[in-house]
Amino acid sequence: MTGSRPGWAKLRGCVVALAFCLAFPTLFPGSGVLNIALLTLMYVALASSWNILGGFAGYISLGVSAFFGIGAYSMGLILEHLIHMSGGYGPFALVPLAGLIAAVVAIPLGWVALRTRHAVFATATIAIMFVFQLLATNLSGITGGSAGLGYPVPTWTGDFYDKPFYYAMLVVAVVGVIIAWMVRRSGVGLGLLAIRDDEDKAEAIGVPTWSYKLVAFVLSAFVAGMVGAVYGYYTTYIYPQFVIDPLISIGAALMAFLGGSGTLVGPVLGALILEPAQLELGFHVNGQIYLILYGAVFLFVILLMPRGIVPSVGALIDSRRARRRGAPLAAPPPTQQPPTAEAVAR
Amino acid sequence: MIGASISQTGDFSSDGNFVKQAYQLWADQVNSQGGLLGRKVEMKFVNDASSTQQVVTNYQTLISSDHVNLVFGPFSSLLTIPSSEIASRYGYAFVEPAGGSQEVFTRGLHNVFEAEPQAGYKDMTVFGHWLLSLPAGQRPKTAAYVSEQDPFIGPEVEALKNVLQAGGVKTVYNQTYPIENPDYSPLALAIANTKADVAALGVNIPDGTAFTRDFIQQDYNPKAIIYANGPDQGTTWISKVGQNNLNGMTAPIAWLPQLNTYGNKQMVAGYLKKYGGNAAGMSGDVAEAYSVGQVIQQAAEAAHSVSNAALIKALHSMTFKTVQGNFAFNKLGEPTGSLFLGQWVNHKWVRVYPPAAAQAKPIYPKPAWGQG
Amino acid sequence: MNLSLLFGALVLGLLTGGVYGVMASGLALTFGVMRIINVGHAALVITGAFISYEVFRHLHLDPFAGLVITMPLMFLIGVVLEVLFIRPLKTDREELSVLVTWALALALEGVLGYFFGTDLVQTTVSYGNSTFVVGGVHIADVYIYGFLLAIAAMAALAALLYRTNLGAAIRATMLNRQAAQLIGIDVERVSAISFGIGAALAGVGGTVYGIVNAFNPDSHYDLIGHLLVIVVLGGVGSMRGAFLAALLIICIQDITQVMISPDWADLSFFVVLTIMLVVRPQGFFGVRVREAT
């Protein structure tokens, strides 16, 4: 893994992918397709941001939905009470603000939740999610409670409607991936990976584990908040139990795992595969079978490809390359240990 | 081709199932009589798992990818609101069976129509009117209100409370609870403790049965009791609360299997033939969904067209005859009829108020549990 | 302040708490032995409820008596699930377990829905409405039976853990998995058995749950949040802790529900959790766990 050649190839790959995404709505203008593409991008963003804490540091957070919801509600409430804008392009400017609000809320929450270790942490994040769902429902004077909250509705017509939202979601997704990339390149990223390897050792060598985890948690929340804001605006009407939904967190986590948690491309790949599949499946398959299949796919992914597609495929390619070069086969692919910092930097 | 998103799994699954049955029944019956304006009706159902995310995708796909000619609405206000927006964007008429919360009608859309005699959120007021119509000496003095935090049911109970309070009935208990609440006993305990004359429950079947059993256990016998849903759901309800406790229970109703409303005999016979069971056990959801089909059919026949624009125009201007009675829609798409109060009298589920439409005299006070 | 109402809420809370305690202790056991969080535990509870419901309907056995069928069946289900889906997890067990068990929960929900449909059902026993009076308040008999059952189950669990060889092996594995392996304990077998016991306990809880509440395959969503919070509160590996935490928290919830309002009752659950996490993250009886590799 040397040299700048892989670096250039990757950059080229990113540019091509981005160009494709930008051209997508013109290539495939049907709004049904755009809707699926939009939701897929949503999960690209969510999975990538989840990955910052969940994949790099190994801390499974199921609180993503809470911040998604906070973003959605923030945007809706601002539009309802503070800044009256009519539907259109204007409200998009508020999206980063919604993300910021979510991030700010994440600070004290992370403060408390990160006092625990792995398994308990997951539970704490589940609790955070339920609390916000309750707050959203009970503070009905502000949030509209279970009657939900409405957004101003843009007057774009049928087929055009999805396009601005598609681009907005694309922007958020790109931002999410870039943030994940920047974290991984930085000292914080290495620290997180070290935490994943062995937290006590990391602490012992002076890694400020708690701060790093908090940074990851907050950044994750920031992206999730922005995604939530765009989504809320897209559906024009939000309810507590649908915007703050455990399935959103689980979905993001699953996609990151499928693609390869701890890598950059992994979550993106996972989202690209799973979200359209899920939507299509839901559309065509009877309810109970859908659940069984969903669970089965889940199990399949986790049991057979615990490292996810990208690392597994990567390892396969590596071992093939080694064999072709005639080099003695290296030690069996490191599937028994969590990926170290270098192995992950592909 | 007509598309509809059905909640086959998730919170609304049992109602969703009834809606699907009714839509399909209607389609079969229309086809057997020559179709809609001579065209065969083909229903396309997709599952939304009671999720707003999926329902949005579903209707978008149905309209823009599958190019269905018409759409029918899903079950519940929660799902109706986002999907009605999509239908509106494409100019599709959106007739729906069960989205009755106020927000459904105040979004500034022109294509939404709830196929029920009265907008859902006003349902329970008929109970209040009945109680206030009793002679002064008999009228109840106190009332306890409890309800789910549901955008549909919550306002129903609120509206009822306003009616009764204005009529001088004192509110001694008024609480709402989150839908996920698994344990109602403490609430029932608190209500029973107030010994209120009237108990108004904004509930669905699971919480309704739970409260009933707790009231029975606490030996709390209100003089009158109303449920937002439950007593009207046929065998599902009876099997859970027991035959001996039925008399006196009330719920708002729009429909009864034995009514002589338009198409009702045909619907009931067709339903029993296709799906089995008995008439008394049929759920009100079936009638609501079936009415959607009837409304569309009549609008199409009047407009001589199945284009959505023509239908919307017709929907705004006509009066419709359905299994739930006759009604029209106002500018907002709210139905302009009114509901009746149903009550179990002598182990029969009948209409008791308003008196003009009543099939039996209402019971007051409610017999003690186990004796009716 | 209405004392008899308060008293009633307290009694109700204790009795219901006991049942939740049994469910939660199964969860705690699983974590203690295998270091995994089984978010599918509530789905197992509901499975138990359905099994006892079917036993009641078809064999006309009182659900309490029907436990002789329900419990072993649940145990078997637990063991099978563990062997098939959890044992293969070699790496990152703790994190992946959350996802795997969630997938199992979904699949279980689908299977239950497929066979039993999504209509709400309830195991309505004939004595379901009879009550006894204490302190001026009516309490349903079934709550008492449920509580007694819970106590019996916990006692049986304690006996198993402290008086049998199997129990010793389980406790050793809970203390230190690697060391247990070194002294010759077949930790894989112990894990499977513990998971099975956890499932059986879930089944016991489910049986009572099914008598008192209406349920359908969907019901596990509401339940799992409560169970997880209880276990964290009690200290993730401690069954004793789980039981006591359940009693405490359900009491608080019920009293809040009656004296203040139902909205804040649900919230009180999580407020208590937050306080706990700030003050004592390891829970009542938990021990600061050194990360096992």
Beta-carbon separation of A335 and C98 below 8 A? no
Q: Which of the four pLDDT bands, split at 50, 70 and 90, describes residue B196?
A: very high
Nearest CA in chain A to B46: A283
Residues in chain B with CB shorter than 8 Å from the CB of C4 are 193
What mean pLDDT is predicted for residues C115-133? 78
Per residue in C128-145, pLDDT (tens digit) is 777 878 777 788 888 888
Closest C-alpha among C176, C171, C168, C173 to residue C291: C176
Dist CA A285 CA B324 (whole Å): 32
pLDDT at B183: 76
**Which pLDDT belongs to residue A229?**
92
The predicted model gives B277-297 an average pLDDT of 83
Cβ-Cβ contacts under 8 Å between B and C: the total is: 96
Position B37 scores a pLDDT of 85
Mean pLDDT of A300-310: 75
Chains in contact with chain A (at least 3 beta-carbon pairs closer than 8 A): B, C
| Calpha distance A200→A22 (Å, rounded) | 45
Question: Looking at beta carbons, which residues of chain C come within 8 Å of B7?
Answer: none
- Asked if the model's pLDDT at residue A340 lies above 70, the reply is no
Residue A346 has pLDDT above 70, yes or no: no
> Residue B106 class from Cβ within 10 Å (0-12 exposed, 13-18 middle, 19+ buried)?
exposed
- Contact of B154 with A147, CB cutoff 8 Å: yes
* ipTM score for this prediction: 0.74
- Nearest residue of A to residue C264, measured between CA atoms: A138
State how far the Cα of B263 lies from the Cα of B287, in Å rounded to an integer: 10
Mark B73-84 as b/e (b = at least 16 C-beta within 10 Å). Answer: bbbbbbbbbbbb
Q: What is the DSSP letter of B49?
A: T
Residues of A in contact with C37 (CB under 8 A): 119, 122-123
Q: In this structure, are residues C99 and A302 in contact, taking their beta carbons and an 8 Å threshold?
A: yes
SS in 3 state form for chain C?
A: CCHHHHHHHHHHHHHHHHHHHHHHHHHHHHHHHHCCCCCCHHHHHHHHHHHHHHHHHHHCCCCCCCHHHHHHHHHHHHHHHHHHHHCCCCCCHHHHHHHHHHHHHHHHHHHHHHHHCCCCECCCCCCCCCEEEECCEEEEHHHHHHHHHHHHHHHHHHHHHHHCHHHHHHHHHHHCHHHHHHCCCCHHHHHHHHHHHHHHHHHHHHHHHHHHCCECHHHHHHHHHHHHHHHHHHCCCCHHHHHHHHHHHHHHHHHHHHHCCHHHHHHHHHHHHHHHHHHCCCCCCCCCCCCCC
User: What pLDDT, on a 0 to 100 scale, did the predictor assign at position C205?
Assistant: 93
Predicted confidence at residue C92, as pLDDT, reads: 65
Q: How far apart are CA A176 and CA A188, in angstroms?
A: 16
Of A35, A157, A287, the CB nearest to B8: A287
Please state, for a pLDDT cut of 70, what percent of chain A lies above it.
Answer: 87
Do β-strands B70-72 and C131-134 pair in parallel, antiparallel, or remain unpaired?
unpaired
- Does the pLDDT value for residue C206 go beyond 90? yes
Percent of chain A with pLDDT over 90: 13
**Residues 6+ away with beta carbon under 8 Å from A346:** A1, A6, A263, A314
End-to-end CA distance of chain C: 53
Worst-scoring range by mean pLDDT, B306-315, B332-341, C164-173? B332-341
What order do you get walking across the sheet with B70-72 strand by strand?
B43-47, B2-6, B70-72, B94-96, B112-114
Which residues in chain A touch residue C31, judged by CB atoms under 8 angstroms apart?
119
Q: What is the pLDDT of residue A34?
A: 81
Q: Which contiguous run of DSSP H or E holds residue B352?
A: strand B348-353
Confidence of residue A345 (pLDDT cuts 50, 70, 90): very low
Mean pLDDT of C268-284: 77
**C14 or B217, higher pLDDT:** C14
Of C92, C111, C293, the CB nearest to A292: C111
Which pLDDT value is given to residue B319? 86
Confidence of residue A342 (pLDDT cuts 50, 70, 90): very low
pLDDT at B222: 92
| pLDDT at residue C105 is higher than 80 | yes
Residue whose tokens read 């009716």: B372
**Alpha carbon distance B161, B155 (integer Å):** 10
- Contact indicator for A160, C258 with CB cutoff of 8 Å: no
DSSP for A155-171 reads ---HHHHHHHHHHHHHH
Task: Write the single-letter amino acid at C22.
Answer: V
CB C50 within 8 A of CB C109: no
| CB of C267 less than 8 A from some CB of A | yes
Helices (H), B112-204: 125-132, 153-166, 185-194
Whether residue A271 has pLDDT greater than 60? yes
Residue A31 is predicted with a pLDDT of 66
Instruction: Name the most confidently modeled range: A13-27, A269-283, B132-146.
Output: B132-146
Most A CBs within 10 A among B57, B106, B152, B204, hence the mutation to make, goes to B57
User: Does residue B332 carry a pLDDT above 70?
Assistant: yes
Contact B155 A242 (CB under 8 A): no
Which of B58, B81, B179 is nearest residue A283 as measured by Cβ atoms?
B58
Residue of A nearest to C290 (CA): A200
* pLDDT attached to residue B339: 80
Interface contacts (A, B; CB < 8 Å): 106
- Strands of the sheet containing B170-177, edge to edge, are B170-177, B142-148, B198-202, B224-227, B249-253, B340-345, B348-353
| Phi, psi values for residue A43, rounded to 5° | -75, -25
Q: Residue C258 and residue B13: Cβ atoms within 8 Å?
A: no
Q: Which of B10-14, B38-42, B331-335 has the lowest mean pLDDT?
A: B10-14
DSSP B137: T
Contact residues on chain B for C12, CB-CB shorter than 8 A: 185-186, 189
Where does the pLDDT of residue C5 fall: very low under 50, low under 70, confident under 90, or very high at 90 and above? confident
Per-residue pLDDT for B168 more than 70?
yes
Taking CA–CA distances from B52, the nearest residue in chain A reads: A242
Chain C nearest-CA distance from B215, in A, is 10
Report the Cα–Cα distance between both ends of chain A, in Å, rounded.
8
- Residue A237: list chain B partners with CB under 8 A: 81-82, 85, 103, 107
Backbone angles phi, psi at B359, to 5 degrees: -100, -15
Q: Does A282 touch chain C (CB under 8 A)?
A: no
Which DSSP helix (H) or strand (E) runs through B200? Answer: strand B198-202
Q: What is the CA radius of gyration of chain B?
A: 20
Q: Residue A5: its pLDDT value, please?
A: 53
What is the pLDDT confidence band of residue A283, given thresholds at 50, 70 and 90?
A: low
DSSP state of B328: E
Residues 145-184 of A with CB under 8 A from C: none
Please name the chains neighbouring C, where neighbouring means 3+ C-beta pairs under 8 angstroms: A, B
Strands B2-6 and B43-47: parallel
Cα B65 to Cα C171: distance, rounded to the nearest angstrom: 59
End-to-end CA distance of chain B: 48
Pick from C98, C281, C291: which is nearest to A60 by CB? C98
- Is C222 within 8 Å of chain A by CB? no
Chains sharing 3 or more CB pairs under 8 A with chain B: A, C
Model pLDDT, residue B170: 92
Interchain pair C35, A119: CB under 8 A: yes
Q: Does B185 touch chain C (CB under 8 A)?
A: yes
C230 CB within 8 Å of a chain A CB = no
All residues of chain A having their beta carbon less than 8 Å from the beta carbon of residue C114 are 288-289, 292
Which of A117, A294, A296 minimises the CB distance to C291?
A: A117
Q: Which residues of C touch B175 (CB under 8 A)?
A: 261-262
Note the pLDDT tens digit of each residue in A314-339: 777 888 888 877 655 444 444 444 44
Contact at 8 Å (CB) between A230 and A97? no
Does any CB of chain C come closer than 8 Å to the CB of residue A288?
yes
Q: What is the average pLDDT across A180-195?
A: 86
Cβ separation C36–A119 shorter than 8 A: yes
For C55-95, write each residue's pLDDT tens digit.
Answer: 998 988 888 888 999 999 999 999 999 998 888 877 667 77
DSSP letters spanning B204-238: -HHHHHHHHHHHHHHT---SEEEESSSTTSTHHHH
Q: Model confidence at A59, in pLDDT bands (50, 70, 90)?
A: confident
Question: B246-282, pLDDT tens digit by residue?
Answer: 888 988 887 778 777 888 888 888 888 888 877 777 7
CA dist., res. B82 & res. B93, Å (int):
14
- What is the model's pLDDT at position C137? 76
Q: Which of C118, C214, C226 lies nearest to residue B209, judging by beta carbons?
A: C214
- Per-residue tokens: B174: 């008024």
**A289 in B contact zone (CB under 8 Å):** no
User: B178: which chain A residues are within 8 Å (Cβ-Cβ)?
Assistant: 134, 137-138
pLDDT at A57 over 90: no
A-chain CB neighbours of C96 within 8 Å are 257, 302, 306
Output the pLDDT for position B372: 66
The pLDDT of residue C44 is: 95
Per-residue pLDDT, B258: 77
CA pair distance A182, A192, nearest whole angstrom:
13
Say yes or no for a CB contact (<8 Å) between C95 and A292.
Answer: no
B149 and C257 within 8 Å at the Cβ level: the answer is: no
Q: Please state, rounded to an integer, the average pLDDT across all residues of chain B.
A: 84
Measured between alpha carbons, how far is residue A5 from residues A309, A310, A314 in Å? 23, 19, 17
Neighbouring C-beta atoms of residue A112, cutoff 10 Å: 16
Question: Cα–Cα distances in Å, from A143 out to A232, A238, B107, B200?
Answer: 13, 10, 17, 26
> Which amino acid, A85?
M
